[in-house]
Structure 1
């Protein structure tokens, strides 16, 4: 999502119309080249990393599960952020100017809000899915049937579209001030109502879902850890009658505990990188839009980085994804004998 890339002047004369100044490139050539290089790497990582997730789930049957249906759709949203949003935001951030006209500014803002919100919604759906898998496995197949997963994914795309393209293209989001914005400036000044409502729907409600789901998963993981400890004590005492069955059960609980830990790290990253933006997004209209442009730029790109990190988090913490990524990067999927149904959990 994006917001003003310029500082807003104090509203001492609210009855008078305000005109934003035309853009001006204030950075030196060296700093611009450095910024372009840094942000281009981030954009490239976002596209390549998420594209690898899409390829891996689409190609390998072992990765095609209800949870990974959400991961696949999340990767599509994050990949589109890297392709359609970040390049234009990068030019605006580095140059301080908007070269693409007012109509595309509104379209870019709509895509920005929609895709970033869709990414956040998918993360909450993944937490919801893991909650049933870990805490209520007996009803998991019922709650996460193909039809229910498809419905949740449809919601993850439809609601962000409704809160972005509709209000923005119809100018229902605009700040309650008389302002003239030059064609070479692309700012996203929103009313107090839109700032609060959009932030609640796009971030705070999904965050609440994720926090509740993770807390319940964390408690279940602690309970399972105690069961594992008790089971190991029994086995050490010589209770080995059904040792193979117990071992499989123990490994299953360990995997679920690891999944809970991974989800917690993903959630922590999510909160660290998106919380600053949405906090300022709500506060700024109530302080007369006085937040500095550099603050918006930093917080906005922190949010984008979340889209860059998601595929790497899955790659580092999931052995199957890690092996699938390596196979694509080394072009091993093109070798004879490599099929989409091959086992990914072993080296």
Structure 2
């Protein structure tokens, strides 16, 4: 999901001239160090935060639910963004040039589009899951069975792969096939059709699903709030024979409403951080590719930051995730009973031990 500033040479419709700065150092040493420090902190937060989500859901059975299956897969996608995409984008942003060759430029661009799109798709699936949990709880277990969840997760990875690696590696996305791009420059120059179609599939359609789902969830939550208030009034006055059942129902509605509110905040953050990039991504081919490089870099890194923020939003709003994070970071998970441990949990033990050692050193 990269781009660059391009110039339109007169009325010539067969070629474009790239106006890019040379690969000479364009920034002072101090500004480069500060940029590396700031962006490296973002990379570390993305990897460590999402890795904690993966460890927590994999280890604690209390966190293993249909919703958290999407959260786990989302954390894997965001963690891969931090491991495979952000470090190379950071070097290109700070240094102003590309050191890894044209082939890896295409591969990196494909990974970028695929993983960021997969992250967005997972967020829309979470909204879909919450819609059934809050608005249609009677059919939730049927609609969100293990097989259906697995199918949705497969779609979240397959569709982004089809719209990224296929067109990009085959050069179907580029605006002009006869354009020459130096090997020390990595730009993502897309034609109008690809810009519109990819943006619609990767962002605007998932955004529409999220907005519709959360609007219905919001109305259902208001209706449930009135029901909870009525139940509390009945229990306070001693009305109703099965108060324990009503109390459990009230707590369930509260829990679902709180989860929907948390995920709604996550969706709002997602819209704020990704909307600028995808808006410019569609507009730029229609304004003769005149968007400045620095604008692309800022909007792109805003999108990357969304992958960094999701784990912290879970930890801040979800008590179970917060406890799990603290247990891993405090190395308290090793104090738990380890008899009859499964191979999966043993692997989690190893990774959490490495994480614990790295945070304590």
- Distance in 2 of aligned mates of 1:346 and 1:17: 52
Q: 1:6 to 1:122 in 2, by over 3 A?
A: same
Q: 1:99 to 1:5 in 2, by over 3 A?
A: farther
**C-alpha deviation, 1:176, in angstroms:** 3.2
Q: Is the 8 A contact 1:5 1:297 kept in 2?
A: no
What whole-Å deviation, never above 9, does each CA across 1:92-120 have from its counterpart, x for those lacking one? Answer: 00000100000000000000000000000
Structure 1: 5+ residue stretches without partners: 334-342
Provide the aligned C-alpha RMSD in A.
Answer: 3.5
- Distance in 1 of aligned mates of 2:229 and 2:291: 52
Deviates most, 183-192 or 232-241: 232-241
* Partner residue, 1:238: 238
* Partner residue, 1:345: 359
Q: 1:20 to 1:8 in 2, by over 3 A?
A: farther
What whole-Å deviation, never above 9, does each CA across 1:60-115 have from its counterpart, x for those lacking one? Answer: 11111111111110000000000000000000000001000000000000000000
- Distance in 2 of aligned mates of 1:289 and 1:314: 38
Q: Which has the higher contact order (CA 8 A, sep 6+)?
A: 1
What whole-Å deviation, never above 9, does each CA across 1:31-82 have from its counterpart, x for those lacking one? Answer: 1100000000000000000000011111111111111111110000000000
Q: Is the 8 A contact 2:46 2:308 kept in 1?
A: yes
**C-alpha deviation, 1:256, in angstroms:** 1.3
**C-alpha deviation, 1:248, in angstroms:** 1.7
Structure 2: 5+ residue stretches without partners: 334-356
- Distance in 2 of aligned mates of 1:105 and 1:16: 19
Q: 1:180 to 1:321 in 2, by over 3 A?
A: same
**C-alpha deviation, 1:21, in angstroms:** 5.5
- Distance in 1 of aligned mates of 2:106 and 2:23: 17
Task: Give the TM-score normalised by structure 1.
Answer: 0.92
Task: Give the TM-score normalised by structure 2.
Answer: 0.88
Q: 1:7 to 1:300 in 2, by over 3 A?
A: farther
- Distance in 1 of aligned mates of 2:217 and 2:265: 13
What whole-Å deviation, never above 9, does each CA across 1:156-194 have from its counterpart, x for those lacking one? Answer: 000000000000000000013742111111000100000
Secondary structure in structure 1 of the residue aligned to 2:358: coil
Q: 1:170 to 1:82 in 2, by over 3 A?
A: same
Q: Is the 8 A contact 1:173 1:191 kept in 2?
A: yes
Q: Is the 8 A contact 2:7 2:18 kept in 1?
A: no
Q: 1:143 to 1:312 in 2, by over 3 A?
A: same
**C-alpha deviation, 1:22, in angstroms:** 3.6
**C-alpha deviation, 1:261, in angstroms:** 1.1
- Distance in 2 of aligned mates of 1:107 and 1:8: 27
Q: Is the 8 A contact 1:93 1:297 kept in 2?
A: yes
What whole-Å deviation, never above 9, does each CA across 1:118-157 have from its counterpart, x for those lacking one? Answer: 0000000011011111111111111111111111111000
Q: Is the 8 A contact 1:320 1:344 kept in 2?
A: no
**C-alpha deviation, 1:232, in angstroms:** 1.8
- Distance in 1 of aligned mates of 2:253 and 2:329: 31
